[in-house]
Amino acid sequence: MADIEFRTATTRSITQVKSALEVEIKSRLPGERIKKFWEGDVFRLVGMGADGRIEVVDGEIRAHATLKPPLSLMRGRVEQGLRETVAAAAGPTSGPSSLAPATAVAAGQPIGSSGAAEQGIGVDQLDELRSAVEGVVLDGAQAHDEFLTNFGHIHQWRPKLVVKPTSVKDVGQALLFARRHGLTVSTRGAAHSQSELAISQGGMLLDMRSMNRVLALDEKARTITVEAGAIWRDVVARTYGKGLMPPVLTNNLSVTVGGTLSIAGIGVASFRYGAQADNVESLEVATVNGDAHRCSRAEKPELFWGVLSGLGQIGLILTATLRLRRVKAMTRTYYLLYDRLDRFLKDARHAMDAGRWDYLESWCAPCPQGLKWVGGVRQPFARWFYPFHLTVEFDPGSPPDDARLLDGLQPYDNLLTDDLPTHEFANRLVPVFDVWRKLGTWEHLHPWMEVVLPWSAAAEFMDMVMPDLSPGVQVGGHCLVWPARASVSEVPLFMHPDEEYLIGFGILPAVPPKFWEQARPRLQAASELSMAMGGKRYLSGFIDFTAEQWRQHFGPRWEGFAALKRAYDPEGRLNPGFVAFD
């Protein structure tokens, strides 16, 4: 199968396209390292691991490339260059299929027929939008590098324009503008996701971080209403002084409310309270035509449940009213260590059932042992241990009874008992993420492989994966193993296995670009294995699903999700390029 495959429509004649292609390629690839030649109406580009074909037929240009190292290491750039080349050859009126993969074109997806990305946005049009909105409008050609990718650093896409809206009205105007000019619209929060999310290939990128106000805190109702671009750290900072916090916080509080609600948002209290998306009272959502709607469990529930964990496909979250819960001022954490997975799993389940704990966090920690053969190369291997951090909140005047809390648990060691103000506990991982930034690994590729496993398969899966997992995963990353439960979550589109007890498992590496080709098949193999064993991938990570795997992921929910997409975004304008709706 090709690594890159797309089609672009053109109104130019075959002869015109061929000569435009030659000119474009000559200026982009002047040297001899890549051989360039015609085979009939197919332009071939061969060398440095690339085998590319650009076929010119009447009304369409079909591009197709397979990549091996070294060019495969720069797949994003190669694809971008190829797309730009083809777009230039197709000419200004190129349309239908330019953004869409071949399958979407074949299915006649309206997104393709919008011709969005290839229509130029002129200065006048940018000015038209600038005068309609109060927020910032940037020309995509001038967009800062940060807008071309996300935390994954795997895909490099250039938007046609970036809009930073400041109000519901701005979002409405931006959506109307996008519609008028046939542009796709991608929503971006803090861009901590890793696949084709929060970036835009030739469309409008709506950077929602500019809508980050806290609108209302209702202590009596225990709710807070915020704009979608608010980050969770600011939400906590606002509620904590009132003795309130959101029931579930992600490990990283620098992510936006809109961003996590669109995926799910899970954290160390999820075993009790579900996902962040479970703890939403109501939403204000913009649909692609620019209309704003209020929705909740009681009002337009279809839209509400379509947007939560909906990957930005159904609508755009403008504001969210979030549930809060009362918290105590202090936390006490017991740092237990397990040398055996079976004992850890037994105690993790015991801890979930005990009803004593507020937060449960656990990891896989390597003790490196040396080198061994893995997949034909000598690589480090480790004996894996399982740190288990169990936390309770308490009022300063009445500290917890350690012996009672730990009763029944059988760790290999009990390393530390640590008290922190609850606010600091919520921010406990800030120093870790700071180290990743200082080390420079924040800029590496992050093909995170996170999966929710059925409890019944978790040990077997980990026994197959852990022995060959390099302890190097700890450099700018980590390996998670979290106990969880199914019945605490009601969000239909947050998919998890059909068992009550679950294990969230994640290999979260920071991969230097030169190791990507080596790492990719292994992560892919772990992903495939996890799904074969009944796991459901967590979708903010590195996802490379086929259309069939998308169906399988959503299982019985797929038809409903696809129907919502057709109803609310019939032209497929919102966040294209990730979910393969056919």
User: Pattern 169-188, binding to ligand FAD, x per CB under 6 A?
Assistant: -----------------xxx
Nearest to 270 by CA among 123, 53, 92, 482: 482
Per DSSP, what are the bridge partners of residue 292? 286
Of 98-106, 234-242, 312-320, 412-420: span binding ligand FAD (CB under 6 A): 312-320
Contact 389, 333 (CB under 8 A): yes
Nearest to 62 by CA among 124, 8, 23: 8
Where in 262-291 is the site for ligand FAD (CB under 6 A)? 262-267
By CB under 6 A, residue 389 contacts ligand FAD: no
Taking the complex as a whole, the smallest distance from the CB of residue 36 to ligand FAD amounts, in Å, to 37
Q: Of the two residues 316 and 457, which places its CB atom closer to ligand FAD in the complex?
A: 316
Q: How far apart are CA 387 and CA 331, in angstroms?
A: 18
How many helices (H) and strands (E) the chain has is answered by 18, 25
Taking the complex as a whole, the smallest distance from the CB of residue 94 to ligand FAD amounts, in Å, to 26
By CB under 6 A, residue 190 contacts ligand FAD: yes
Q: How far apart are CA 467 and CA 375, in angstroms?
A: 12
The rounded radius of gyration (Å) of the Cα atoms in the chain is 25
Give the interface size with ligand FAD as a residue count (CB under 6 A): 35
Q: How far apart are CA 446 and CA 212, in angstroms?
A: 26
Taking the complex as a whole, the smallest distance from the CB of residue 295 to ligand FAD amounts, in Å, to 13
* 485-502 residues labelled b (16+ CB within 10 A) or e (exposed): bbebbebbbbbbbebebb
Q: Of the two residues 208 and 469, which places its CB atom closer to ligand FAD in the complex?
A: 208
Contact 210, 171 (CB under 8 A): no
Q: Of the two residues 260 and 331, which places its CB atom closer to ligand FAD in the complex?
A: 260
By CB under 6 A, residue 192 contacts ligand FAD: yes
Where in 196-225 is the site for ligand FAD (CB under 6 A)? 197-198, 208
Taking the complex as a whole, the smallest distance from the CB of residue 262 to ligand FAD amounts, in Å, to 3
Q: Of the two residues 80 and 260, which places its CB atom closer to ligand FAD in the complex?
A: 260
Taking the complex as a whole, the smallest distance from the CB of residue 472 to ligand FAD amounts, in Å, to 18
Taking the complex as a whole, the smallest distance from the CB of residue 69 to ligand FAD amounts, in Å, to 27
Per DSSP, what are the bridge partners of residue 463? none
Q: How far apart are CA 179 and CA 567, in angstroms?
A: 16
Question: What values do phi and psi take at 568, rounded to 5?
Answer: -95, -20
> What separation in angstroms does the CA of 293 have from each of 261, 287, 483?
17, 8, 36
The correct pick among 317, 348, 457, 481 for binding ligand FAD (CB under 6 A) is: 317
What is the DSSP code (8-state) at residue 556? Answer: G
Q: Of the two residues 394 and 433, which places its CB atom closer to ligand FAD in the complex?
A: 433
User: Pattern 412-431, binding to ligand FAD, x per CB under 6 A?
Assistant: --------------------
Q: How far apart are CA 209 and CA 227, in angstroms?
A: 9
By CB under 6 A, residue 540 contacts ligand FAD: yes
By CB under 6 A, residue 507 contacts ligand FAD: no
User: Pattern 244-263, binding to ligand FAD, x per CB under 6 A?
Assistant: ------xxx--xx-xxx-xx
By CB under 6 A, residue 10 contacts ligand FAD: no
Q: How far apart are CA 392 and CA 133, in angstroms?
A: 47
By CB under 6 A, residue 119 contacts ligand FAD: no
Q: Of the two residues 256 and 279, which places its CB atom closer to ligand FAD in the complex?
A: 256
Q: Of the two residues 119 and 256, which places its CB atom closer to ligand FAD in the complex?
A: 256
Q: Of the two residues 18 and 160, which places its CB atom closer to ligand FAD in the complex?
A: 160
Q: Of the two residues 381 and 581, which places its CB atom closer to ligand FAD in the complex?
A: 581
Where in 354-383 is the site for ligand FAD (CB under 6 A)? none
3 state DSSP class of 136: strand
Q: Of the two residues 4 and 275, which places its CB atom closer to ligand FAD in the complex?
A: 275
Taking the complex as a whole, the smallest distance from the CB of residue 483 to ligand FAD amounts, in Å, to 14
Q: Of the two residues 236 and 311, which places its CB atom closer to ligand FAD in the complex?
A: 311
Q: Of the two residues 192 and 522, which places its CB atom closer to ligand FAD in the complex?
A: 192
Q: Which long-range contacts (CB under 8 A, 24 or more apart) does 278-282 make?
A: 278/248, 278/488, 278/489, 278/490, 278/491, 279/246, 279/247, 279/248, 279/322, 279/323, 280/304, 280/308, 280/320, 280/321, 280/322, 280/323, 281/223, 281/321, 281/322, 281/323, 282/320, 282/321
Residue with tokens 């199914």: 486
Question: What values do phi and psi take at 337, rounded to 5?
Answer: -130, 140
Burial of 205 (0-12, 13-18, 19+ CB in 10 A): buried
Question: Where on the chain is the footprint of ligand FAD (CB under 6 A)?
Answer: 150-151, 186-193, 197-198, 208, 228, 250-252, 255-256, 258-260, 262-267, 311-312, 316-317, 433, 540, 575
